[in-house]
Structure 1
Amino acid sequence: MVKLSPKGWINGELFLEWFNHFIQCIPPARPITLVMDSHGSHISEVVTDLTKKNQIYLLTFPSHATHNLQLLDVGVYGQLKRSWEKSLSSYMVKNTGLRPNRYDFHKLLKPAYYSAFSPETIISAFRKTGIYPFNPAAVTDEAIATSKLTDKPAEDNLEPALDDSESHSEVNELFTLPVLADDGNKCKQRRKTDSKAKYLTKIQEAAAKRTRGRSRKEETLNPQPSTSGVTKKRMKDDNKCGSCGHSYLEDVRKK
């Protein structure tokens, strides 16, 4: 019986179908016990009704104990993996350059499956887990013991704290910047300049230019009155006699 769910994991519908198949294949002797893990898909109202009608007792493993009590994990899947590797290697030798596809899968799995799920392997798995014959000592105390780290004092598991100087030095070592090589011509050190002072100088020059431009604009809009006429009148007055008003320029012209 081979079935596949849309997500590839067991679900309630597949388990119910398998459970009906299981009831048809077991011997007529009753009652019987079915051991399995406690996955949510294994327990449903329909399955419970079938167990009551067929006198089947369900015994589920404790949580996180399947690696010690699950028959398939302990004694069957390891043999299945080894048999599958042999079957696949045999196929690759006989078909050089070809890769098995999904149509070849069942042909390769069938001999490996029958080799792993043999009566001898299954009986050995029951014995290793201690389920049958019942043997509580089959699973050792070390296999189910708590971690040894929990038995140590809390202060033994703590690392010594670093003071500020040590922590700062470690951080500086981690974040140290790489030193670039000096190539001479390409990596010349630039002359340091005072960008702030240079910036202020530019501002002062710009302010002075704006002041000069503003004064020229005001002169253009408000022109001063010309003094050329007043100057000529003063020159004529200087050439006249103060008592009679006679002009000295006329005497010069006559001569």
Structure 2
Amino acid sequence: MIGAPEGALGLATGNGWMNSEIFPKVLEHIIKHVRPTKERQIILIMDAHCSHLSVIARKMAKANFIHLIILPPHTSNKTQPLDRTVFGLFKTFFNTAANGFMLQNPGKGITIYDMALLMSDAWTKAATPMNIMSGFRASGIWPLDPHVFDDTDFLPSAVTDRPQPVDKDLTSSQNQPGPS
């Protein structure tokens, strides 16, 4: 993780995709640095990838005052704040850094060991407070704008409609139907 910001977490899988084994490590990292409490709870907005929906991750989040907001599938390009305003810029800045690396190191390929340094500068340039706030505004999260989307914006999620997962340990008795 040469060149990574202090406190950065580096995780990798064989196929490059998040999985339910490493996602709890991401939650541990968030808990360590944000330190949510009952008085200072947090919201984590994420897509509906199966790695985010494991029972272990959901229990860990609940036990640590993290509210998970799952976005409808195939809509994160509109509903995920960072997709709206940060990730495109990040990709542009990363590509510029990668091109510069290759010009300075002819014949040397970029390896996983070079990624932290290349990504760090790109992230710092893209993830500015102004860009992040703009993403929340564009996605209608803050300030809340329930009219930022219409029903047609969510049609792509209909192809993967599935029932909401239920975990009896996470469901409070208040949300259960009472005796008839």
Query: Is the CA contact 2:75–2:154 (under 8 Å) kept in the aligned structure 1?
Result: no
> How far, CA to CA, are the matches of 1:135 and 1:89 in structure 2?
39
Is 1:54–2:68 an aligned residue pair? Answer: no
Query: Is the CA contact 2:46–2:68 (under 8 Å) kept in the aligned structure 1?
Result: yes
Which structure 2 residues correspond to residues 139-150 of structure 1 after superposition, within 5 A?
A: 139=149, 141=150, 144=153
1:20 corresponds to which residue?
A: 28
| Secondary structure of 1:138 counterpart | coil
2:145 corresponds to which residue?
A: 135
Which structure 2 residues correspond to residues 191-206 of structure 1 after superposition, within 5 A?
A: none
Query: Aligned in 2, Cα 1:109/1:34: closer, same or farther, shift over 3 Å?
Result: closer
If asked which structure has higher relative contact order (CA below 8 Å, sep 6+), I would say 2
CA offset at residue 80 of structure 1? 0.5
1:101 corresponds to which residue?
A: 110
Percent identity, aligned pairs only, is 31
* Structure 1 counterpart of 2:121, from 101, 111, 114: 111
Q: Which one has a bigger Cα radius of gyration?
A: 1
> How far, CA to CA, are the matches of 1:40 and 1:52 in structure 2?
17
Unaligned runs of 5+ in 2: 1-8, 157-180
Letter in 2 for 1:15: F
Please list the CA deviations of residues 74-108 of structure 1 after superposition, one character each: whole Å capped at 9, or x if unmatched. Answer: 11110111111222333344x27344431433322
Unaligned runs of 5+ in 1: 148-255
The answer to which structure has the higher helix fraction is: 1
> How far, CA to CA, are the matches of 1:18 and 1:92 in structure 2?
31
Give TM-score, length-normalised by structure 1: 0.50
> How far, CA to CA, are the matches of 2:33 and 2:155 in structure 1?
40
Letter in 2 for 1:144: D
RMSD of aligned alpha carbons: 2.5
The number of residues matched between the two structures is: 145
Letter in 2 for 1:13: E
Give TM-score, length-normalised by structure 2: 0.69
> How far, CA to CA, are the matches of 2:152 and 2:74 in structure 1?
12
> How far, CA to CA, are the matches of 1:45 and 1:6 in structure 2?
23
> How far, CA to CA, are the matches of 2:125 and 2:84 in structure 1?
16
CA offset at residue 67 of structure 1? 1.5
Letter in 1 for 2:98: L
Query: Aligned in 2, Cα 1:44/1:136: closer, same or farther, shift over 3 Å?
Result: same
> How far, CA to CA, are the matches of 1:51 and 1:38 in structure 2?
15
CA offset at residue 71 of structure 1? 2.1
Task: Point out the more displaced range, 2-11 or 95-104.
Answer: 95-104
Letter in 2 for 1:77: F
Which structure 2 residues correspond to residues 32-181 of structure 1 after superposition, within 5 A?
A: 32-93=42-103, 95=104, 97-102=106-111, 103-139=113-149, 141=150, 144=153
CA offset at residue 60 of structure 1? 0.8
